[in-house]
Amino acid sequence: MKILYVDGSCGASGDMLLGALIDAGASLDVLNQTIDRLHLPGVALQARQIRSHGLGATRAIVSIAEYQHRRRHLSHILGIIEEAALDPWITQTSVAVFRRLAQAESRVHGIPIEEVHFHEIGALDTIVDIVGTVAAIALLRPDRIHCSALNTGSGTVHCAHGWLPVPAPATAEMIRGFPAYGSDIPFELLTPTGAALLTTLADDFGPLPPMRIDRIGYGAGSHDLGRPNLLRVFFGDHTQHSDSVLPEIAGLETDRVGVIETQIDDMTPECFASVMENLLSAGAIDAMVVPVQMKKGRTGFWMQVLVEPSDLSRIARFLLQETTTFGIRWRLERRIKLSREVRTSETPHGPIRMKIGRMDGKPVQVSPEYEDCRLAAQRHGIPVHRIMNEARATFHLTSEFHDVERKDHDS
């Protein structure tokens, strides 16, 4: 399993994260091809190698031919992204980041989300920072993204609304519920864009997980802090803690998974649907609800949620708050699974991401991404199951599955 770890100990901004991902291997040429699809006249992405207090890093720079800043509503920005014909995951994730920004501004100012004016975050360079960062992650293809606790800095920052304390109100709103801390560095280290990206993209927050590091990238900030002003990313393979009980199974992956269970007899199915959706958005691996017969003849529901072990406490608190249960059970279980990767397949109805499961290095399972199929079905007015079947058929004909199956037949 590939892991991307973001070290935010010096804070985070959109350009720092983008610079670090380019430094770690995301192709600048491919990213500019993505930026070109946004149809922003005179806008391009550049990468410059710099030194910050003796350490080499990449600074991501958005060049704009002429001054084009103006206020934009959320609908204007989403229109630019959704009309750009990008990879579906890049579109969906970029939209989610901007929605998170707009929701934070809406809460802070007490106005409907449609009335939010994007000031600093509405500039062209921020659109490029967000879409470019999401596209860079799509190029690196991590299976999970982990992030350190976020350093907000201290002092004040000048915004469109005047001088405000650090973290700025919108930033504070977005990091609510996430690990963060202040420091004696008198700068705004965590920007609204950086907060929106990391709280949307990261699957987990905490220390560096056990991993075999393959690449390290450094993204440079623009302020001179009197120390290296860098965001660092690590990219590599997940490794197991030494555990003599966990078997080593050739050709397969093993790990531990947290299992949370509870029974509930006083919630309606509609409420469960909302809880399930929010669980998956909060980072649960999977969740299921099954009707059961409870004591005194009452009909109820049995709920099971699978989570990363590091997420047990957070998801448990979520369930206690969002459901009517008075208690839950949890345990750690060993898991054996196929190694996985995600590839994009070009189909007659557009690009569809395909999840591939491997055993002994050979592909044995393939599954189309449901959300990609659902969006394609909406665009073309075709049932989802037909899109999924055609995606599988196209992938089998154009991928290494075809070669593997043909060799098996010939032998």
Count the Cβ atoms, other than its own, within 10 Å of residue 87.
Answer: 18
| Residues 200, 95 contacting (CB under 8 angstroms) | no
Calculate the CA dihedral of residues 165, 170, 171, 175 and round it to 10 degrees.
120
Task: Tell me the torsion sign for CA atoms 194, 197, 199, 205.
Answer: negative
Is this model's pTM higher than 0.85 or not? no
Q: What is the pLDDT along the chain (411 residues), one digit of tens a residue?
A: 899 999 988 889 999 999 999 999 999 999 999 999 999 888 889 999 998 888 999 999 988 876 555 567 788 888 999 999 899 999 999 999 999 988 888 888 788 887 776 654 447 888 999 999 999 999 999 999 999 999 998 888 766 666 778 888 889 999 988 899 998 888 889 999 999 999 999 988 888 989 999 999 999 988 777 788 899 999 999 886 544 444 456 567 777 889 999 999 888 888 898 899 899 888 899 999 999 988 777 888 999 999 988 888 899 999 999 999 999 999 888 888 888 888 888 888 889 999 988 888 788 888 999 989 999 999 999 999 999 998 888 887 766 555 544 444 444
Preceding amide of 167 cis, omega within 30: yes
Q: Which two tokens stand for residue 104?
A: 């934070």
How far apart CA 82 and CA 98 sit, in angstroms, is: 12
- Cβ partners under 8 Å of residue 131, min gap 6: 34, 35, 38, 81, 86, 90, 94
Exposure of 266 in the CB half-sphere (CA atoms within 13 A): 6
Pick the CATH number of 253-337 from 3.30.70.1380, 1.20.140.70, 3.40.50.300, 3.40.50.2000: 3.30.70.1380
Q: Which two tokens stand for residue 385?
A: 């199951």
Exposure of 267 in the CB half-sphere (CA atoms within 13 A): 23
**pLDDT value at position 74?**
83
User: What is the rounded radius of gyration, in angstroms, for the C-alpha atoms of the chain?
Assistant: 23
**Which DSSP letter does residue 149 get?**
P
Helix (H, G, I), strand (E, B) or coil at 381: coil
CATH 3.10.20 fits 339-410, yes or no: yes
Boundaries of every domain in the chain: 2-238, 253-337, 339-410
**pLDDT value at position 411?**
45
**pLDDT value at position 245?**
43
**pLDDT value at position 242?**
45
| Residues 45, 28 contacting (CB under 8 angstroms) | yes
- Name the nearest CA neighbour of 210 among 152, 258, 144, 157: 144
How far apart CA 236 and CA 213 sit, in angstroms, is: 4
Q: Which two tokens stand for residue 366?
A: 């393939």
**pLDDT value at position 161?**
62
Please name the residue that has the structure tokens 């299976």.
Answer: 143
- Name the nearest CA neighbour of 309 among 234, 243, 244: 243
